[in-house]
Amino acid sequence: MDKITFLGAGSTVFAKNVLGDCITTDAMREFEYALYDIDHQRLEESYMMLSNINRNSNDGKAKVVKYADRLDALRGAKYVINCIQVGGYDPCTITDFEIPKKYGLRQTIGDTHGIGGMFRALRTIPVMLDFAKDMEKVCPDALFINYTNPMSMLCLAMFRASSVNTVGLCHSHQACVPELLAELGMPWDGVSYKISGINHMAWLLEISRNGEDLYPIIRKRAQEGPIYAPTLALRELHPEYADRIPSVAEQFTPDNHHDMVRFEIMKQFGYFVTESSEHSSEYYPWFIKKDHPELIDRFHIPLDEYPRRCRDQIARWKQQAEHLVHNENLTHTRSSEYAAGIIEALETGRTFGFAGNVLNTGLIDNLPFDACVEVSCMVNEGHLSPCHMGPLPNQLAALNRRQIEVHQLTVDAALTRKKEYIYQAAMLDPHAGSELTIDEIRSLVDDLIQAHGDWLPEYH
């Protein structure tokens, strides 16, 4: 029996989307679904939920198994899906936000780039490489599908320090075009586009319909308005959350809407970026500045947004659990996640296209070859192949390279345990480097290492 292993299976909502898609796809209906998580209560909840889906939407054809031992969970797996969060909200996410705040360095999400992303990588990479060692022993040919952030740094560590076949998946690429066009009141059906760059900073390079370049219209509407909240696009992209998304889009002006940072980046650099404004605001040196607090209101930047989301999610879980875990009639409708499409294509020989995070083996000509890049990928005749995307416009490549340098040094630190690389990565971070002195950055790094304690290995 073929086997899909899900690491971090206590992420119950995400497990429903990803594994629910797989269980209800013909090519994977009779697979074993191996669930593993260090939180045994959440593991049990996900097991109950997926068992109900398997019974109600798959006639019980799949085998859903929960494992207490990680090696057993991985043994013989054909596909491994990773969705872990090392250290969780409390204490590690709190630490990622509160320590920098003492230095006047504010963040919104802190999970991908910047200081927060760096320290999330430093505590996650050792765990990921332990996964890789286990996989090399008991399922060396398995495909490792990573959903955990910080995507670029984690995948880069896997590329550099393991033999595991790895691809990273993120939602921002697939949501980018529907959200942008919905914001401008434009339909997104029949649209062709090209996106290339790095995770959370990939660029909409081309967009057309029936051969007509839509960028002149997009740029004009972005300046003249009106701008709409992309609620209708979100309802279609995420039907599982439709009850929480308004059915009518609110209307705003170009000077006052929810996506100000991304539109400003497009105005200044010519292209729309994939990741949301709340994420993007902390990736550049121009938006969150302690000497210019007026920018927070001007660009509607939600400081401390990720901790707030974590608290809301924790508070909501009991209500969600009643529907997901204790609902014996639970069924599943296919979500927009890529994982099931990739696995189905690999199993059947069908063709499937998606955006993946892979090693830049010349795929983007003017980014470093040892970087993790986010590009179009194809599964065809049972093989997964990233596509050559050509060069980025120079201004976009420059923005990407600023983050890539931080990624590379952070991974260097994780692999060598040299603290000096952490200092250097933090100094090169565009946000920290624009706000803090060298001495402040070094002190901040020391404080974060001390506050994380045993969540980090020892650095020298």
* Cβ count near 425 (within 10 Å): 26
Which residues have C-beta within 8 Å of that of residue 37, sequence separation ≥ 6?
A: 7, 8, 9, 10, 43, 46
Same domain (yes/no): 327, 188:
yes
Same domain (yes/no): 58, 198:
no
What does the block give as tokens for 412? 């260097």
| Full domain range(s) for residue 267 | 167-459
Q: Which of 164, 1, 158, 135 is closest to 75 using CA atoms? A: 135
Same domain (yes/no): 147, 175:
no
Q: What is the pLDDT of residues 174-220, one digit of tens each?
A: 889 988 998 998 888 899 999 999 999 999 999 999 999 999 999 99
Q: What is the pLDDT of residues 384-439, one digit of tens each?
A: 999 999 999 999 999 999 999 999 999 999 999 999 999 999 999 999 999 999 99
Same domain (yes/no): 31, 142:
yes
What's the number of domains the chain is made of? 2
Same domain (yes/no): 137, 199:
no
Same domain (yes/no): 244, 127:
no
Across 136-267, the runs of DSSP E, i.e. the strands, are: 143-146, 165-168, 191-198, 201-209, 212-213, 227-228, 251-252
170 carries a ligand binding annotation: yes
> Strand, helix or coil at 164?
coil
Q: How far apart, in whole angstroms, are the C-alpha atoms of residue 64 and residue 50? A: 7
CATH code of 120's domain: 3.90.1820.10
Peptide linkage before 91 cis (omega within 30 of 0) = yes
Angle between the 114-138 and 394-416 helix axes, to the nearest 10 degrees? Answer: 60
Mean pLDDT of 161-172: 96
Among 166, 183, 210, give the residue marking a domain's end: 166
Among 166, 193, 224, give the residue marking a domain's end: 166
Mean pLDDT of 340-364: 97
387 carries a ligand binding annotation: no
452 carries a ligand binding annotation: no
Q: What is the pLDDT of residues 230-244, one digit of tens each?
A: 765 555 555 544 554
Same domain (yes/no): 147, 180:
no
CA dihedral (30, 32, 37, 43) in degrees, to 10, reads 50
Exposed/middle/buried for residue 94 (C-beta within 10 Å: 0-12, 13-18, 19+): middle
As annotated, the active-site residues are 171
Q: Which of 30, 36, 43, 28 is closest to 325 using CA atoms? A: 43
What does the block give as tokens for 261? 């940072």
Among 166, 181, 205, give the residue marking a domain's end: 166
Q: How far apart, in whole angstroms, are the C-alpha atoms of residue 183 and residue 179? A: 6
Given a cut of 50, whether residue 319 has pLDDT beyond it is yes
Same domain (yes/no): 375, 424:
yes
CA angle 457-82-315, nearest 5°? Answer: 85
* 301 DSSP 8-state letter: -
Same domain (yes/no): 145, 183:
no
Share of the chain above pLDDT 90, in %: 88
> Strand, helix or coil at 39?
coil
Question: How far is C-alpha 115 from the geometric centre of its chain's CA atoms?
Answer: 17
What does the block give as tokens for 8? 């971090």
Same domain (yes/no): 215, 140:
no
Same domain (yes/no): 351, 454:
yes
Same domain (yes/no): 249, 158:
no
